[in-house]
Amino acid sequence: MASNLEFVRFPAPDGVNGWWESLPPAPPAVAVTAEQHYDWVVVGGGITGLCAARRLAELAPDASIALVEADRIGRTTAGRNSGFFVDLPHDISSESYSRSVEADKADVRLQRHGIDYVRSVVKQKDIDCDWRDDGKFHASVNRKGHAALAHFAEGLARIDEDFEWLDAAAIASVTGTDFYEGALLRLGAARFSRRR
Ligand SMILES: Cc1cc2nc3c(=O)[nH]c(=O)nc-3n(C[C@H](O)[C@H](O)[C@H](O)COP(=O)(O)OP(=O)(O)OC[C@H]3O[C@@H](n4cnc5c(N)ncnc54)[C@H](O)[C@@H]3O)c2cc1C
């Protein structure tokens, strides 16, 4: 499959997480010892581990559950991401971000279910995280980028998803910069920011 991405090399992580550093200090970590016993132990406190532990607690409210994280929760990859919940196919190795119509539609259903679940938790627990159902802009800076967006648009049209094209002036009025030559707006994605 052809790719529209070209890398000379990937950046090497330096171990510093700007999001983490910009937050107030975290409370000291609690160590788990070999003498302690739990009904369930979830290994890894990234998004997957956090969700698994939470769901387990919902399904088995009387069980004891330990969530074990080798670093600190929020300082590893799950705490470095951009805070977007994307509801669309996002296969970045594919020119159109998509796979097959069936697989893309299944992706959308699954991802929307996940977003609805997290939104309901944010609401129910009154979590102050600047949750916004803003959608997502995919912007391009040159002809090559525009071609990639056009492929993406074709993929969206194939699965009957709405999108909107913005010209240079329209995206400049959103971002405040004339850096982009155009953009594609997809409503449906949500975003949040970090709080401790
Ligand atoms: C720069 C960047 C931007 C991104 N932006 C987005 C975005 O906007 N939206 C989005 O949906 N995704 C985004 N992603 C991808 C997303 O962050 C990952 O898909 C997600 O973090 C995967 O979660 P995970 O829990 O499966 O794995 P991880 O986040 O890797 O979590 C695994 C955890 O397990 C811990 N661990 C590993 N081994 C052990 C062990 N033996 N004992 C205890 N703990 C252990 C690790 O320390 C880690 O904390 C982005 C990623 C990056 C790097």
Q: Considering only CA atoms, which residue is closest to atom 18 of ligand 1?
A: 78
Q: Which structure tokens are listed for 22?
A: 């910009």
- Name the CA dihedral angle for 95, 96, 101, 106, rounded to a multiple of 10 degrees: 100
CA of 188 to the centre of ligand 1 (A): 23
Global confidence as pTM: 0.79
pLDDT value of residue 93: 74
Distance from C-alpha of 77 to C-alpha of 144, rounded to nearest angstrom: 29
69 and 123: one domain?
Answer: no
Query: Which protein residues touch ligand 1 with a CB less than 6 Å away?
Result: 43-49, 68-71, 76-78, 80-84, 86
Of all atoms in ligand 1, which is nearest to the CA of residue 48? 25
Domain count of the fold of the chain = 2
- Using one digit for the tens of pLDDT, what is the confidence trace for 28-44? 999 999 899 999 999 99
Q: Which of 57, 81, 105 represents a domain boundary (last residue)?
A: 81
Of the pLDDT bands very low, low, confident and very high (cuts 50, 70, 90), residue 1 is very low
68 and 1: one domain?
Answer: yes
Site to substitute for ligand 1 among 10, 77, 86, 97, most atoms within 8 A of C-beta = 77
Residue 55 pLDDT greater than 70, yes or no? yes
pLDDT value of residue 28: 94
* Residue type present at position 66: A
